[in-house]
Amino acid sequence: MVKILPTVLLSTLAAWAGLVYSEPIPPYLYTRATLEEFIAAESQISITGVLANIGPDGSKAGGVSAGLVIASPSRSSPDYWYTWTRDSALTFKALVERFIEGDSSLQTTIDNYVSSQAKLQTVSNPSGSPDSGGLGEPKFNVDGTAFTGAWGRPQRDGPPLRATALTLYANWLIANGQQSKALSNVWPVIQKDLAYTVKYWNQTGYDLWEEVNGSSFFTIAATHRALVEGAALATALGQADGGYAAAAPQALCFAQSFWVNGYIDSNINVNDGRTGKDANSLISAIHTFDPAAECTDSTFQPCSSRALANHKAVVDSFRSIYTINSGIAQGKAVAVGRYAEDVYYNGNPWYLTTLAAAEQLYAAIYQWDKIGSLTVNSVNLAFFKDIVPSAAAGTYAKGSATYQTITSAVSAYADDFITVVQKYTPSSGALSEQFARSNGSPLSATDLTWSYAAFLTTVERRSGVVPPSWGESANNAVPSVCTAPPSCNSKTTFNVRVTTVPGEDIFVVGSLTQLANWSPADGIALSASKYTSSDHLWYVDIDLPAATAFNYKYIMKKNGQVTWESDPNRSFTTSSGCGSTSTTNDSWR
């Protein structure tokens, strides 16, 4: 066992450098290595893996513009040779935290990221122009140009996530005598993202898995954090608050809507046919973790009763559906996927979601230790009884035997999730996106940047390394009444000319809630009251958000049968200004 760690490190680092190491890595090495040895080796592999995927100097990012992060070097089956706003923001959040902890070598890379994102914010794309929703575009080509293919758009988590990553950096700059740089270089990017967030947070969009068009818990949780810390940063820089402080509590108020039946329903306002038990919520808990917070239910802090009950619900949803989880007892860690109904690549565990289950628990332990106690109650009792069968309701002070028993059990449980990752990590240490539900072999995109970043943050929490506070303690009060932001609508008239016969009716559907989120069953009916033998006009007036880009199509219904007009989707941008008007003039395809 003593020789395993050097072998892993030397072999792996040599492989990354393109060198040849004389002693081959046995395929069972990671199974033989202790957990501590695996963590030490994989941590180095992970930071190397992240940096390899960042342009222009990353070893696997040749031709990628400076500061842009590729999701994966994979260019086919699947093609992830793009830069995603969300993935990049979460990756750089991890890198900025690492920089704050003392890795000064990362500053040039972070500065490149700031510059690259400033450029991306100016690129018009299918989600809109820079001022009409374009910041909600999920991904771009690796040269920073717009990706114009079909995709699930908009995705409203990117701007608040990017704002958070850059706010961490701006706060460091201020604390280290570089306020002018924070104001001139970083704040303009943050300000645009926060303006987008304030304007669009209460509108539906696609979730972080890019599949469900509704209201996503992850997006709302990220929104609340970004607005809270954005308001504080604006004050620190002497800048105007663009409505951030006012919108933050309303986003928090809306977040409470996702707590149903003892767990977080990760996607609401959509009929997706799922239970809602989704690793989306685990990732939310670790993103909004504040080391200075109490175990606050309203913000779903990692140690909160709600977050722990949800952890059990989500993890348990995978226990019986994967072959590799067979025979693992309740209360022991299992491989975790995105959601039980997943069919992407036949639905498998992911490295980053399994790591998220561990990271939440390490964060919870940190919070309990800082608070000085933990509380078992009716909401989280089932979680605790899984790992400590004798657990009973009560508050247990740090230093007590019960506190020690429970926190030791939670720590061991968290370690077990890393052990699952260890078991299914290939001997090279490379982390793909998924591992097979049947035998654990790596699947989908290779060298997934997000997988490596997730490993880094998980082991940092395990070692007690935590990010700066984002101000949760002063911003966790839920308003007594949730108030949606004032609407700013534009009346849009849809005109389409199509020849119909009695019994045939025309509807419009599209990518906005007001257009039924593409649901043909809920399509908006057009009127034929102006239809004549010489002008086959169907029309309808719909109030839509002003200055908003969207996609849409017309459908025909007859006797319960739906006929879609031919591809491609149509696109339109509503006029700017509250109370403005705009008109489409289309012909059925």
What is the CATH classification number for the domain harbouring 215?
1.50.10.10
- Residue ranges for the known binding site for substrate are 151
Residues 170 and 274 both lie in one domain: yes
Q: Which of 131, 210, 297, 504 is catalytic?
A: 210
Residues 24 and 95 both lie in one domain: yes
Q: Which of 207, 386, 415, 460 is catalytic?
A: 207
Residues 424 and 549 both lie in one domain: no
Domain boundary among 411, 446, 474: 474
In this predicted model, what pLDDT tens digit does every residue of 283-332 receive, in sequence order?
Answer: 999 999 999 999 999 999 999 999 999 999 999 999 999 999 999 999 99
Any residues with CB less than 8 A from the CB of 566 and at least 6 apart, and which? Answer: 589
Residues 372 and 508 both lie in one domain: no
Residues 373 and 420 both lie in one domain: yes
Residues 87 and 134 both lie in one domain: yes
Residues 286 and 185 both lie in one domain: yes
Q: Is residue 481 part of a domain?
A: no
Give the range of the structural domain holding residue 332, as residue numbers without chain letter. Answer: 10-474
Domain boundary among 413, 441, 474: 474
Q: What pLDDT score was predicted for residue 548?
A: 84
Residues 467 and 563 both lie in one domain: no
Q: Is residue 2 part of a domain?
A: no
Q: Which residues pair with 543 in a beta bridge?
A: 491
Q: What pLDDT score was predicted for residue 31?
A: 55
Task: Look up 272 and say whether it is catalytic.
Answer: no
Query: For the chain, what is the radius of gyration of the CA atoms?
Result: 25
**Separation of alpha carbons 230 and 445, rounded Å:** 34
Domain total of the chain: 2
Q: Is residue 480 part of a domain?
A: no
Q: What pLDDT score was predicted for residue 33?
A: 80
Residues 498 and 462 both lie in one domain: no
Residues 302 and 352 both lie in one domain: yes
CATH number of the domain encompassing residue 501: 2.60.40.10
* DSSP 8-class letter at 493: E
Task: Look up 207 and say whether it is catalytic.
Answer: yes
Q: Is residue 399 part of a domain?
A: yes
Q: Is residue 163 part of a domain?
A: yes
Nearest to 540 by CA among 532, 548, 530: 530
Peptide bond into 56 cis (omega under 30): yes
Residues 207 and 284 both lie in one domain: yes
Using 50 as the pLDDT threshold, list the residues of the chain that sit under it. Answer: 1-29
**Separation of alpha carbons 451 and 444, rounded Å:** 12
Residues 310 and 180 both lie in one domain: yes
Q: Is 18 helix (H, G, I), strand (E, B) or coil?
A: coil
Q: What share of the chain is helix, strand, coil (3-state, %, to 5)?
A: 40, 15, 40
Domain boundary among 445, 474, 503: 474
Q: Is residue 550 part of a domain?
A: yes
- What tokens appear for 377 in the block? 């109650």
